[in-house]
Each structure stands twice: as C-alpha cells, then as structure tokens.
Amino acid sequence: MQAPLSIGQHEHVASHRAALRPEDDAGACTGQVRLAGPPAAVAAAIRSADPAIRGQLIGQLQRQVGNGSVSRLLARGRGPEVPGQMPVQRWAVTLPAATADCTVVVNWMNQHSPYRARSGWALTSPTFGWGGDFKYDGSGASMTVSIANPTVSLSTTVDMPSWAPTNLAMKPAWATMTADLRAHEARHEEVATNWKATLLDRLTSLSLSIKSQAEGPAAVGKAWAGWLVEHQADQSALDPFSALLDCSGGGSDSADAGSGNQDGLELAAGNDGDTDASA
C-alpha cells in the first residue's frame, strides 16, 4: 500500500503580501516594467535584469501570483539546491534609491516586510515530504508497521529583500546587512538539509506496534509529525538573529536601533525560526 505524501509546511510562509499601491506610497516610483511570455522566458529575463528592474519585476509577479509561484518560476533550469547557493526569491523594497537615512529604511522595512508580524526581513521555508510502502509484520498484539522503500523530499525557498540604493553610504551598508542576513538564512538551509538525511534514516528503521493495519497510517503520521517538531527545535535554536544596517561608516555616532539614541545603526531581524507544522 502506497503511503500518502505527508507535507510539513513552514508556518510562516507568507499568505499575505504587504505592498502599497504606488498611489498610496509617497516614496514609490509609479513607473512599472512588465513582462509577458512563456514562464521560462520570463524567468530568464528576470535573472538577467539589473537589480533595480529585477526588484520591480519580482514585486509585480509576487502581487500577481504569490511568493511560492515566483520561487518556482525562478528555480526553472537551475541545478540541485545547495545551502547558501539555491535560488533566492526577492520581495521588492520600493524606497527611492537615493534614500540616505538608515532609520527611514528600517522603519519602511518593518512596516512592509511580508514577514513583519515577527519583525523579520527574510525567511527560509523548508518543506519536507515522504513516500514509501506500508509494510505490516506479525499479528494481534505483535503486529508492527514499517515503511518499505522510504523516500524523503525537501523543497526550500529563501525570501530576501531586494533593493539597489545609490547613496554612497547606504550602498555598502545595505550590501553588508543583506550578506549577513543571507549567511544566516544559509544556516537554516543547512539544518533542513541535515534533517532530510535524519528523516530518511528514521523512516528506514521505523517499526511501530499497532493493533490493526488500519492504525498503520496514523501511527506513521504521528511519528513523522514528532520528528518535524524536533527539526523545528533545531531551527528555532538559531534565532533570534539581527543583522546591522550601519550608515555611520564606522563613526562614533553609531547607536542601536529602537534605543532612542542617535541615528546611524539599525537592526535587521532575521526570521524567527522555521517550522514545519524552518532563518
């Protein structure tokens, strides 16, 4: 009997995309670039665009078809996923490129990030699935269920902010912050990758006592759910995390964001752990 696919979905995959309409956002450019054509051609055009145009196009597509669809579109034609090197979908930051104040950027991000409910600016979302055949041994009180020919799948998306500032102080500050944030997300990817192997090992060696074959699927499903809780605990152990958006250029006027001190140094929060029920 073929086991049903059991999916563990990140509880924070954004189902609501927060993006102001241009007419409602005084800081947004009203000009838009639009693409139409076969999905593969659209994906290739986006990947080859300069950062500013790429952000506009991805933001447009996210509003039209959602983050998940955009991630799958941009993943077309790419090789196997490697932690820290897999395709990254981008949510567009529509602030004017010349913005020079870190506080303005941080406040805008906190209000518009798709993950603002947890003060996050980025999100790594691993989704696990399993397959195989239920195998029953014994009878009565000695009956057990196991999984023959087990398989485990892992699909991961990484969502990062996209912006191309032109201010001379903001450019390196933004680049440093996003590099730190991306490195943190790669740690979450690594946890998920390691857990894929762990889940396969556990399915391979699984043997559960049951009273009847009818109890088999539920027993395996319960074990799977428990393992995903363990995976989430490992993801949560990496958070909270904050990357610095520092416009001070290393000067002595740097200050912590939200502390009421001088402008100059702001915090960019990473996602608050990835769940399956994985930053």
Three-state SS sequence of the chain: CECCCCCECCCCCCCCCCCCCHHHCCCCCCCCCCCCCCHHHHHHHHHHCCHHHHHHHHHHHHHHHCHHHHHHHHCCCCCCCCCCCCCEEEEECCCCCCCCCHHHHHHHHHHHCCCHHHCCCCEEEEEEEEEEEEEEECCHHHCEEEEEEEEEEEEEEEEEEECCCCCCCHHHHHHHHHHHHHHHHHHHHHHHHHHHHHHHHHHHHCCEECCCHHHHHHHHHHHHHHHHHHHHHHHHCCCCCEEEEECCCCCCCCCCCCCCCCCCEEEEECCCCCCCCCC
pLDDT at 74: 56
Quickly state the pLDDT bin for 115 (edges 50, 70, 90): confident
pLDDT at 215: 96
Is the pLDDT higher at 144 or at 18?
Answer: 144
Is the pLDDT higher at 26 or at 235?
Answer: 235
Smallest CA-to-CA distance from 125 within 43, 15, 201 is with: 15
Please enumerate in sequence order all residues whose Cβ is within 8 A of that of 197, keeping only pairs 6 or more positions apart, or say none.
none
pLDDT at 120: 86
Query: Quick one: average pLDDT of 173-201?
Result: 95
pLDDT at 145: 97
pTM for the model stands at 0.63
User: If you average pLDDT over every residue of the chain, what do you get?
Assistant: 73
Reported as a single tens digit per residue, the pLDDT across 19-73 is 333 333 333 333 445 556 665 566 666 655 554 555 556 656 655 665 556 555 6
pLDDT at 103: 93
Lowest mean pLDDT among 36-45, 125-134, 185-194: 36-45
Residue 121 has pLDDT above 80, yes or no: yes
Residue 180 has pLDDT above 70, yes or no: yes
